[in-house]
């Protein structure tokens, strides 16, 4: 549903819609680099977590009927970004410390497992691509560039495993976490740590040491979880 993909939930909530092209703005597939050929979109609006989202208001502002707004809400609920409360309404989902810890626990389980399958299947070509992504990521100066680059780096690590269902679940988990990063963290939050951990991951994959790579990845995600929890506590 293209309309749902024109909505991005973060803390704060941001949405924008281009009725002419159902242009995607601020969604993981195109979160930080909009199509330069696209027509201008309305100015994004920010809402705080747990704020109600009213179909009528959003439909009126975007110049569409309530039907695509309602369908977008259901898709966003499936992605874990809004909470639909029967007979009450739709609310921007908030993240608690327990929510974040559970998300990272699931990420560690799934990502370490899929990386173990991917390591022996990497080639010189795939490893060179990862190095190129890592080099660009090291130069990221905005949260948007960093999130897009980090997502691309991890997906390139896992791609050779060819496990589309697992990767789809990982993307959903990451999407929920990314909205938190977007509002609370920045590239400099753990720049040196991320840099060193990414390099160590690549070295382990080049050695085809799946066990070491999975261990490094788990430690990397644990450190990232600590940073996220610290940022949540400071909010």
Classify residue 208 as left (phi > 0), alpha (psi -120 to 50) or beta. Answer: left
> Same CATH topology for 4-92 and 97-234?
no
Which letter, b or e, does each residue of 211-224 get, where b requires 16 or more Cβ atoms within 10 Å of its Cβ?
A: ebbbebbbebbeeb
Q: Which CATH architecture has domain 97-234?
A: Up-down Bundle (1.20)
Rounded Cα distance between 28 and 174, Å, is 9
What is the domain partition of the chain in residue ranges? 4-92, 97-234
pTM score: 0.70
Query: pLDDT 10s digit of each residue in the chain, 235 long?
Result: 334 433 444 333 334 333 322 322 333 333 333 343 443 444 555 556 667 778 888 788 778 888 888 787 777 777 667 777 787 878 777 778 898 999 999 999 999 999 999 999 999 999 999 999 999 998 888 877 888 899 999 999 999 999 999 999 999 898 888 766 666 666 677 778 889 999 999 999 999 999 999 999 999 999 989 988 887 777 6
Q: In this structure, are residues 29 and 152 in contact, taking their beta carbons and an 8 Å threshold?
A: no
Rounded Cα distance between 176 and 99, Å, is 10
Rounded Cα distance between 98 and 110, Å, is 18
Rounded Cα distance between 79 and 117, Å, is 26
Q: Are strands 52-53 and 13-15 parallel, antiparallel or unpaired?
A: unpaired
Rounded Cα distance between 59 and 62, Å, is 5
Q: Which helix (H) or strand (E) holds 118?
A: helix 97-118
> Domain 4-92 carries which CATH code?
1.10.10.10
């Amino acid at each position: 549903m293209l309309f749902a993909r024109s909505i991005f939930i973060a803390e704060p909530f941001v949405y924008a819609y281009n009725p002419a092209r159902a242009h995607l703005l601020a969604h993981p597939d195109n979160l930080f680099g909009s199509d330069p050929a696209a027509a201008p979109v309305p100015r994004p609006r920010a809402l705080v977590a747990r704020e109600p989202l009213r179909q009528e208001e959003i439909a009126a502002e975007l110049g569409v009927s309530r039907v695509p707004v309602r369908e977008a809400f259901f898709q966003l609920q499936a992605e874990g970004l809004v909470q639909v409360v029967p007979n009450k309404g739709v609310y921007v989902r908030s993240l608690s410390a327990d929510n974040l810890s559970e998300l990272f626990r699931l990420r560690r389980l799934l990502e370490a497992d899929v990386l173990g399958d991917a390591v022996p299947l990497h080639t010189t070509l795939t490893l060179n691509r990862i190095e190129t992504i890592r080099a660009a990521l090291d130069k990221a100066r905005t949260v948007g560039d960093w999130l897009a680059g980090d997502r691309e780096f991890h997906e390139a690590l896992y791609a050779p495993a060819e496990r589309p269902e697992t990767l789809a679940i990982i993307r959903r988990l990451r999407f929920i976490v990314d909205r938190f990063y977007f509002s609370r963290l920045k590239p400099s939050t753990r720049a040196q740590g991320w840099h060193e951990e990414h390099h160590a991951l690549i070295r382990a994959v080049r050695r085809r040491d799946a066990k070491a790579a999975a261990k490094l990845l788990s430690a990397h995600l644990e450190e990232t979880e600590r940073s996220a929890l610290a940022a949540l506590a400071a909010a």
